[in-house]
Amino acid sequence: MALSLLLLFLFSLLLLFLPRRIWRYYNLCKAMRQLPTMAPPHWFWGHANIIELNQSFADKVYAWRLKNNININVFWLGPFRAMVSLHLPEYFKAVMKNPKAPEAYSLLEDWLGRGLLIENGSRWFSNRRLLTPAFHFDVLKPYVHVYNDCTDILLGKWEKSALNGETVEVYNTINQLTLDVILRCACSHFSSCQEKGRNDPYVKAVLDLCDLSAERFMNPLLTVNNFVYFYLTSRGWRHRKALKETHKHSEKIIKERKAVLMNEGRQERIAKSKLKCLDFLDILLLANKERKDGDGLSDLEIRYEVDTFVFEGYDTTANALTWTLYYLAKYPEIQEKCREEVRDVLRGRNQLDYDDLSKLQYTQCCIKEAMRLNPPVFNIFRSLTEDTVIGGHYIPKEAMIIIDITGIHRNPNIWKNPMEYDPLRFHPEHSKERDPFSFVPFSAGPRNCIGQNFAFNEEQVVIASILNKFSLEISDERIKERLDILPVVLLRPAEELHLKLTLL
Ligand code: HEM
């Protein structure tokens, strides 16, 4: 009897909700048919069977958009997931206040938990407020010494190669440098990742996680069931192993820092905070202790934030630096102009101070122009809280929104000769009239990048120090002509970039 009642209840629920779901799905399909699409979607795969994570697919999409002046279009991933891609600043503004799309970020959740990047709503708001002081100007200032110290290790390694007449491989060595920086600044952890290279198990695990998460995102079959993916596929086993490695690493760091804080006397702690030389983890741990609302972060939540900072803070910056070095090596006149500026500011010194950074105007233009053409975070995702009209197009709330940062940065309706590397577009004179939402490598609005000043300062120190010491040349003519992109979570170079360095 009880079972029959339960079945009846479930059946009534189904009858109540199913028609509405079917109606909404019909509504979604109808609206999506009004939007431009590259190819008719397959009934099951949608466009998942034609999307490729490579340069030639990106070229095809770009050529199609250019030919048809497309500023908005739809992709289907599987039969139910419609993704509307936006490539105009005003379209971005129209959706920026909407929450992150959980489906897009949930695949990073096993790794990053519900840290700042993924969390939505009041919990995000409260944590963002808690973490904002960690990126205050006074906290960032002393980090210039960390950038310098870590860059010195890189310069030493590159000097050896230059003296031996060997080329240097850029992306991986820079990646180790930015990881070294973020670990020191986020949690005063002095890893030896620059010396151990790719053999460092943590570095390997993080890189694996990036690749595996992206593959999973693009393949609807891998997202059907977590148990099947994690326990019954070889990819899932690798994924679990990498997760275990990264979490073990972060937990160890947190434990060590907690022990240090416990041992420090109260006076010492206050003195330290007055000097404003706290690392991000210190700020988290101290703020946590001082919170009176009983709503502090648990150890697990602190791990979420540490993993988020490391994920957000190192590979992004490494990609931005790699692409900047690529363009500087490709265009020797621009490289030389940049070097002249750096040397003018350094005046015979080897290292930059914080106050020097504001004087590196042309260098800043070069970095920005590299991030315009190849924004490390090339797509961000939102879900609509209600059906919305974007640029005259009706978009039901079931569609996932992609803000296509590369699409905005290369949109010919905004940028003249968008595919040309021209740093002077960022000269203050030339950018006065430009809509700030035309250049959004760090996103914009309330969910913008909390670490953007940290990253931009670091990029300037690294680029200036390299240019001060070496002249750069791309060793392979084919790569010099064209270095393809590999859009896997971040916009990476598809092939190794080797530079020939001459000591100056
Ligand atoms: C060149 C380097 C970087 C780039 C291009 C970059 C880009 C971005 C972008 C586009 C977002 C928005 C993501 C979204 O809406 O899904 C973001 C968010 C974020 N970034 Fe960065 N980032 C960089 C460096 C950093 C660094 C160094 C840190 C930390 C030290 C950091 C921490 C974060 C965090 C915590 C968020 C989430 C903020 C929130 O939602 O409140 N990023 N970043």
Q: How confident is the model at residue 206, as a pLDDT? A: 79
Which residue puts its alpha carbon closest to atom 15 of ligand 1?
380
Query: Can you tell me whether residue 379 is helix, strand or coil?
Result: strand
Q: How confident is the model at residue 296, as a pLDDT? A: 62
Q: How confident is the model at residue 199, as a pLDDT? A: 74
Give me the DSSP letters along 24-47: HHHHHHHHHHTS--SSPPBTTTBT
Q: How confident is the model at residue 158, as a pLDDT? A: 96
Mean pLDDT for all residues in the chain = 89
Residue 500, pLDDT above cutoff 90: yes
Give me the DSSP letters along 248-267: HHHHHHHHHHHHHHHHS-HH
Measured in angstroms, how far is the CA atom of residue 389 from the centroid of ligand 1?
Answer: 28
Query: Can you tell me whether residue 131 is helix, strand or coil?
Result: helix
Distance CA 465, CA 487 (A): 28
Q: Are 407 and 382 in contact (CB under 8 A)?
A: no
Q: Are 467 and 155 in contact (CB under 8 A)?
A: no
For the stretch 258-269, pLDDT in tens is 787 777 665 565
For the stretch 26-82, pLDDT in tens is 999 999 999 999 999 999 989 988 888 889 999 999 999 999 999 999 999 888 899
Q: Which of 167-176, 210-219, 401-410 has the lowest mean pLDDT?
A: 210-219
| Sheet strands (E) in 374-437 | 379-383, 388-390, 393-395, 400-404
Q: Which two tokens stand for residue 376?
A: 């490390």
Pocket of ligand 1 (CB under 6 A): 100, 116-117, 128, 308-309, 312-313, 316-317, 320, 376-377, 380, 441-443, 447, 449-451, 454-455
More confident residue, 235 or 137: 235
Measured in angstroms, how far is the CA atom of residue 376 from the centroid of ligand 1?
Answer: 10
Q: How confident is the model at residue 32, as a pLDDT? A: 95
Residue of 163, 89, 483 whose CA lies nearest to 324 = 483
Measured in angstroms, how far is the CA atom of residue 123 from the centroid of ligand 1?
Answer: 18
Residue of 28, 62, 59, 60 whose CA lies nearest to 46 = 28
Count of residues making up the chain: 504
Distance CA 77, CA 32 (A): 13
Q: Is 347 exposed, middle or buried (0-12, 13-18, 19+ CB in 10 A)?
A: exposed
Q: How confident is the model at residue 388, as a pLDDT? A: 96
- Ligand 1 atom closest to the Cα of residue 405 is 10
Is 24-503 in CATH node 3.30.1310.10? no
Q: How confident is the model at residue 282, as a pLDDT? A: 80
Q: How confident is the model at residue 401, as a pLDDT? A: 96
